[in-house]
Structure 1
Amino acid sequence: MKKFTIFLTLILLGLLSCTNSDTPKESMTVLVPNGTPSIAQAYIEHEESSSYIIDRVSGPQSLVAAFTSQSHDIIIAPVNLGANLYQKGIDYQLVGVLTWSNLQVISRFEINDLLTLSGKNIIAYGQGSTPEMIIDFLISQYNFQDEPIISYQASSVQEAYTFFLQDEESIAIVSEPISSQAKTMIDDLYVLDLAAIWTEQTKLDLFPQAGVFVKKSLETSKVLQYIEDIEIATNKANDNPSLIANYCESLDYPFEKIVIESSIKLSQIDFQSHLHSRDIINEYLNLIIDFKSELIGNQLPDNDFYYPLS
């Protein structure tokens, strides 16, 4: 009887061991905008599909809805959008910045500087977000004979590009990889890099664009795991654009492989936790407060805006 009891106990322990080892870890859910942010994390999407459920979206509406509903563990979104919603009580904190200084003007006629755009109608995207801040600030720094007319009619950068293609006289403000895509389709395309003008006017090397926000309730171990994975992903993107372009193609990204590969080096992909980027984030947010404070809820976010990292 004693031997039978020991035998039964060993069987039960074995079953419990198998059950624990076979139980899959709960996947983290991630929401990321199409374009450079999604390309920046494509390595994770391809290589770590068992650990993450990743949804790609276009336009800010889906990001705002996700913040409000807390539908995802991690949301990649414009830094100022996250700061604005933080003032309204969202339960997300900033871990770091994923992409930087990626904004261009495209045109079928020559543009040498912003003054070339005097009196022109310009299609833009990103109202209430990074593009609006950068565009409106830079325009305010020049004495135009006739100020450009900016229309934020496009709900996403993809839609801004669609409008641009429909009108040969149009000018649009877009970002990579759209600029690289436009170069493959239009022979005489002129591109004006707004990041270079930003640096010239502000003396700031970069402006933070896509931030990584995590739900406050997400376990610390998962946050640290994502930080490790996104650092690997961005390094892979910069070191091997061809590999990442292949991954994006296999994941049905809405861009051709050649476009993705050529755009990566122009996209300022570089994940930096807020421990290493706090100064430039604060400089950018302070500039918004001075120029267009409503874009971040009319006040600077406090320290709780940043996820506690040590």
Structure 2
Amino acid sequence: MNKRYLIMICLIIIILFTTSCGTNKAVEEPITVNFSFVDGIPALTVAKILKENPTIDENITINYEIQKSPDLLVSKVLKEEADIAIVPSNLAAQAFNKGLPYKLVGTATWGTIYLVGTEDINSVDELKGKEIYAFGKGLTPDLVLRFVLTENGIDPDKDINISYLNAASEVAPALLGGKAKLALLPEPLVTNIMMKKEDIKVVLDLNEEWKNITGTSGGYPQASLIIKTDLIENNREFVEEFIKLYEESIKWAKENPEKLGDYSEELELGVNKASIVEGIERINIGPFSIGESKEEYKIYFETIMDFAPDFIGGKIPNEEIYFER
């Protein structure tokens, strides 16, 4: 009799233990992942995902936060409120050097800054003595321009006159109105003004100039995808699938400008369809993989370090900044 009771008790314990383990494994707390990026070209790289809104994990909801200003995006990252973000590449370095828990995953867009105007300029040398209207003093557009000029033997503070305005939106009217003959502008503004005034043309593609100087194949990584370390560590399958979908979204955007234009206008991403269709090559989306572009990042960080070390947080990030799958 005692033996029978002992066997029954053992069976009950086994059943309770098995049921308990199964329950713990099945119950997962739902989480929300905040994905932040600014409107404009960065948003275009996400257009396919935004439109289709795929479910990657039943327990994970993606909250898409389209910021209307770069300052709001910077705040989201520095306060660690963004789990995933598309940021200027220098901000990825700043965050890493501040000890913030983000990994650099890949390139959203390469250089989209151009020198445009009504003058016939055939080489960088011919810019000597000219006036260039520009924006973003001390920021990426300015630093890239200064790097290209310097590497071509032109002192940007002595050999030319750079007139800085507050924003690119102020530079464009100066060029359209004839006040400026040469202007530093980003896409999609470049395409917008070229469609409005036929005698305006691209004088220098700064990304191409960067490639020629540095010997890199991609140019300078203008915007990058970063992901929080704890999200990578605790939800690896979700992160892997998300990155796969994002890569597909970038590829799709590059190959389908007409549809991308439709999505942009429907989702109010800040770029009109005509600018996308006409300027898709200058928008410079992709390739994405960090494994294929790490050298570009190293050169970019080293170059910025020489010109404006504070812009990347005072030092060149080490290998720990990169997330390679």
Letter in 2 for 1:112: N
Residue matched to 2:172: 161
Q: Counterpart in 2 of 1:173? A: 184
- Which SS does the other structure have where 1:245 is aligned? helix
1:99 and 2:109 equivalent?
yes
Percent same amino acid among aligned pairs? 27
SS at structure 2 position matched to 1:28: strand
User: For residues 70 and 197 of structure 1, do their structure 2 counterparts lie closer, same or farther at Cα, with a shift above 3 Å needed?
Assistant: same
Distance 2:71 2:169 in 1: 14
CA contact (8 A) 2:95 2:102 kept: no
1:225 alignment counterpart: 241
Aligned amino acid, residue 86 of structure 2: I
Does the CA contact (< 8 Å) of 1:81 and 1:129 recur in 2?
no
Q: Is 1:214 matched with 2:227?
A: yes
Closer, same or farther: CA 123–169 of 1 in aligned 2, 3 Å: closer
Match of 2:134 in 1: 124
Alignment match of 1:33 (pick from 35, 38, 57): 38
Q: 1:108 aligned to 2:118?
A: yes
Could you state the TM-score of these two structures normalised by the residue count of structure 1? 0.81
Separation (CA, whole Å) in 2 of partners of 1:280 and 1:264: 22
Give distance in 2, aligned partners of 1:185 and 1:191: 14
In the alignment of these two chains, the number of paired residues is 289
**Structure 1 residues 91 and 24 mapped into 2: Cα distance closer, same or farther (>3 Å)?**
closer
**Bigger Cα displacement from structure 2, 184-193 vs 46-55:** 46-55
Structure 2: how far apart are the matches of 1:85 and 1:226? 22
Shift, 1:70, TM fit: 1.9
Structure 1 runs of 4+ aligned residues shifted over 6 Å read none
CA distance in 2, matches of 1:159, 1:63: 22
Q: Which runs of 5+ in 2 are unaligned?
A: 1-25, 56-60
1:229 Cα deviation from its structure 2 partner: 1.4
Q: Partners of 1:298 and 1:112 in 2: how far apart?
A: 36
- CA shift digits 1:245-292 (9 cap, x unpaired): 111111123332111122222222114232232222112222333444
Q: What does residue 272 of structure 1 align with? A: 288
Residues 50-59 or 288-297, more deviating: 50-59
Question: Hey, what's the Cα distance between the residues in 1 that align with 2:53 and 2:98?
Answer: 33
Matched-pair contact (CA < 8 Å) for 2:34–2:83: yes
AA in 1 matched with 2:284: Q
Q: Is the 8 A contact 2:132 2:180 kept in 1?
A: no
Structure 1, unaligned runs of 5 or more: 1-19
Structure 1 Cα separation of the partners of residues 264 and 295 of structure 2: 33
Quick one: distance in 1 between partners of 2:229 and 2:170?
A: 33
Report the residue type matching 1:34 in the other structure: D
TM-score after normalising by structure 2: 0.78
Q: Greater CA deviation, 292-301 or 144-153?
A: 144-153
The structure number with the bigger radius of gyration is 2
Residue of structure 2 equivalent to 1:43: 48
Say which SS state the counterpart of residue 168 (structure 1) adopts: coil
Superposed CA RMSD in Å reads 2.9
